[in-house]
Structure 1
């Protein structure tokens, strides 16, 4: 009897030994990727995200190209003296009567007529209110000298970049990180985890889950970058694209390690509970670590000291450092140092996450305390 019992055990050990850690990691990663790619909701949401991104860029480019264009009518003598700017679309008219007719039927916003009594030699004819942009264009302005012309408009651009990078990072982390938590909880709740652990070690399983979701998240980021490049090229914003090239590359690099950092925490959070309704207390701290850096970059984007500090903090570096690089605020070595800190943080957090995950997977029932999970 004892011999019959021991033989299958030895056979089981030999079967487990045939699956290398690398094969186990890829097996779990392939399962995660396949599950997502077979999900219609995932494919539809990704397509909608790409369409919204492309549509937003095309619309902003169209708005930028048409914004400020004023359609006016002008007599030949006035039209010849107008400044040669893209903001004015001029229709020449023979006399005042023709100009009044175009203004009255809404063909043009205003008309310009010669007036010797006006300081500018021009009279603006409008239906109810003269366009402010036209009045400003015709007004005599004092000479203006800017001490720092390159800083003009940086504030709104910093906000926009913080919004874009922050939303992309936060949405990807939540979209691909929280399912890791739910997957781990589901495996514990259905007791499937006990079967899986008989074939695949816990750390290998964790690595596979993180790798699979990281590949999906990074693939989605690459698709978004490709769509953004196409949109910027189609709208003629190549100058902006050239300046954004290096920050986008750094964002992609930081995103990979930032996601690995958070993914390990999401998995560890899921392993502490056995029911999805109990996941709130363990999942909330990870969600806060995902969202707080995004809001800090938005609110403190114009504070150079705060941005410099946040570009070295692992949870905010993927957003803060690319913005500093875009505006030339960071020296060439700063992203490298920040990346080293990120890598070291990844090693520490993933090691702790793996320990929590490994020590909590088979603990069913009540929520496992963090201190107990770390002690094992």
Structure 2
């Protein structure tokens, strides 16, 4: 009596998981990937540390002191006291730019015209504020937490004429979001494209398709590379947050928190969309030399947010449009969250639009990929691949 071994093909989930695991293993074994990741993370950490070092080398902050508040400032090396006759005199010094902040007795501030007229806006503290502090620190435009933290007890802080985010800080944050999105999406996207063409050129694809379906192969490639890209982004974000916390830059850390979380969420969805498009376009050619030409449109979609955020980061109208266009939303919406220009519901709506666009890109990409994999020779036109 003979027995016949029955062949069992892996299910779609198993096949996708096997392909994803292979992609992850291949990336981890790639020296180029490991080195580029280390260099990028080192650059992020170095920028955080250098920002702290240069910030700590500033000259003593000039502050206008009123009455008995001079006792609180006396002996503080990081502060230079500028005597003021009263609060009005101190306000004039502050508005003229002669001082960075005002340090005044709390009871005088509470009884002054500034408090009575509603000109003062209480600043949200990054830490614990002394409830019985004898002095209050007042800034112009921004909360002078650096001055406040130099005092023995952290006093309450108020602001005259609340200003928008510092333009230079806004530019660096925008540049950071843009370069991280551009670098990660382009690096992993090109890796997927090269992998697809390499499998076609070496005819390995024929062996793979005898075991797994084209859809499972595409799904595994997208998932595997998306996991690696997402892990890289999370590691960079975590390293930056840790660096800011350890170097005492809690103020900047507090402002970046929500925008970084939204950036990670948008990037996770947006990269899946781009990965599917890179794989689909690469499947239409059979030679590695032709990858650049067919993936150029997708590459431009990756470069567009980077260029727009560099040149128009201070333009609310352009940022608003960017935050709803799927290909630029991963940069535009987190930037608007950082600048406090977005309502609470806007990131949710934008993310929903991005998810819908990603689903559409997956459907279109799957059709092009499946109908192009086994076709060699001349480039397959997108219209032919869509018709099947």
Higher helix share: 1
Q: Which residue of 2 aligns with 1:75?
A: none
CA gap 1:145/1:325 in 2 versus in 1, 3 angstroms:
closer
Matches within 5 A, 1:43-122: 43-68=34-59, 86=78
Rg larger for: 1
Q: Which residue of 2 aligns with 1:275?
A: 287
Q: Which residue of 2 aligns with 1:220?
A: 232
Quick check: 1:364 aligned with 2:343? Answer: no
SS at match of 2:8: helix
> Once the two structures are superposed, what CA deviation does each residue of 1:69-99 show, in whole Å capped at 9, x if it has no partner?
59xxxxxxxxx9999773669xxxxxxxxxx
> Once the two structures are superposed, what CA deviation does each residue of 1:222-247 show, in whole Å capped at 9, x if it has no partner?
11111101110121111211121111
> Once the two structures are superposed, what CA deviation does each residue of 1:279-337 show, in whole Å capped at 9, x if it has no partner?
22211111100001111122111111111111011111111111111121101100000
CA gap 1:27/1:148 in 2 versus in 1, 3 angstroms:
farther
CA gap 1:313/1:39 in 2 versus in 1, 3 angstroms:
same
Quick check: 1:294 aligned with 2:306? Answer: yes
C-alpha distance in structure 2 between counterparts of 1:251 and 1:329, whole Å: 15
C-alpha distance in structure 2 between counterparts of 1:156 and 1:149, whole Å: 19
Matches within 5 A, 1:139-154: 149-151=161-163, 154=166
Q: CA deviation at 1:186?
A: 0.2
Q: Which residue of 1 aligns with 2:66?
A: none
C-alpha distance in structure 2 between counterparts of 1:372 and 1:330, whole Å: 42
Unpaired runs of at least 5, structure 2: 62-70, 82-96, 100-138, 142-158
> What is the aligned counterpart of 2:30 among 39, 42, 45?
39
Give the TM-score normalised by the residue count of structure 2.
Answer: 0.73
Residues 60 and 77, structure 2, Cα contact 8 Å, conserved in 1: no
C-alpha distance in structure 2 between counterparts of 1:153 and 1:309, whole Å: 20
C-alpha distance in structure 1 between counterparts of 2:261 and 2:21, whole Å: 26
Quick check: 1:307 aligned with 2:333? Answer: no
> Once the two structures are superposed, what CA deviation does each residue of 1:40-76 show, in whole Å capped at 9, x if it has no partner?
2222221222122111110111111213459xxxxxx
Across the aligned residues of Structure 1 and Structure 2, the Cα RMSD in angstroms comes to 2.6
C-alpha distance in structure 1 between counterparts of 2:45 and 2:140, whole Å: 38
> What is the aligned counterpart of 2:216 among 199, 204, 211?
204
Unpaired runs of at least 5, structure 1: 1-7, 71-79, 90-135, 139-143
> Once the two structures are superposed, what CA deviation does each residue of 1:106-130 show, in whole Å capped at 9, x if it has no partner?
xxxxxxxxxxxxxxxxxxxxxxxxx
Q: Which residue of 1 aligns with 2:132?
A: none
> Once the two structures are superposed, what CA deviation does each residue of 1:149-169 show, in whole Å capped at 9, x if it has no partner?
433553222211110001111
Residues 140 and 162, structure 2, Cα contact 8 Å, conserved in 1: no
CA gap 1:373/1:66 in 2 versus in 1, 3 angstroms:
same
CA gap 1:207/1:214 in 2 versus in 1, 3 angstroms:
same
Quick check: 1:22 aligned with 2:13? Answer: yes
SS at match of 1:151: coil
Give the TM-score normalised by the residue count of structure 1.
Answer: 0.76
Number of equivalent positions = 304
C-alpha distance in structure 2 between counterparts of 1:88 and 1:148, whole Å: 21
Residues 58 and 234, structure 1, Cα contact 8 Å, conserved in 2: no
C-alpha distance in structure 1 between counterparts of 2:55 and 2:79, whole Å: 11
